[in-house]
Amino acid sequence: MEYVRKGDVIALRLVKGEEITAALAALAAKENISAASVSGIGAAGRATIGVLRTSDKQYMKRELCEDMEIASLTGNISVGANGKPYLHLHVVLGGIENVYAGHLNEAYVSATAEIFVTVFGAPIGRYYDEDTGLNLMNFED
């Protein structure tokens, strides 16, 4: 992982073999990021994505293993109830014949990933919401 920070914007480059969510969590911890938006592109060879089935609050995962372009990586970083970085990322992955989209659990870079992180000036936490089964944003003063 290589990155440069200028003010509130971080440009991050990942190389083959690096895992995107782990790298972003490490960056958030190192840079003391308590709220930020994330945007990126790149290539992945293996990924796990998911979708929440809202009818029964079951999280459905799908493992992918093929050459894929990261057509869109978007989301945010906040602080979880445990005080550690909480990533909420969505991804669109394009393979040779298929396109996949969903919540990003993990993705391994197969060539490179270019990601921008824009830090927000106020902390954002998370709390578990029984009704939705999700960890929702909690805005602090």
Predicted local confidence at residue 133, as pLDDT: 86
Is the distance from CB of 57 to CB of 15 less than 8 angstroms? Answer: no
Quote the pTM value.
Answer: 0.94
Q: No. of H helices and E strands in the chain? A: 1, 8
Predicted local confidence at residue 57, as pLDDT: 87
Domains detected in the chain: 2-139 (3.30.1330.80)
Predicted local confidence at residue 78, as pLDDT: 97
Mean pLDDT of the chain: 95
pLDDT band at 29 (very low <50, low <70, confident <90, very high): very high
Predicted local confidence at residue 139, as pLDDT: 87
- 117 sits in which H/E element: strand 99-119
Instruction: Find where tokens 């979708």 sit.
Output: 51
Predicted local confidence at residue 81, as pLDDT: 85
Predicted local confidence at residue 49, as pLDDT: 98
3-state secondary structure of 111: strand
pLDDT, tens digit, 9 for 90 and up, residues 82-134: 899 999 999 999 999 999 999 999 999 999 999 999 999 999 999 999 898 89
Predicted local confidence at residue 27, as pLDDT: 98
- Average pLDDT (36-42) is 98
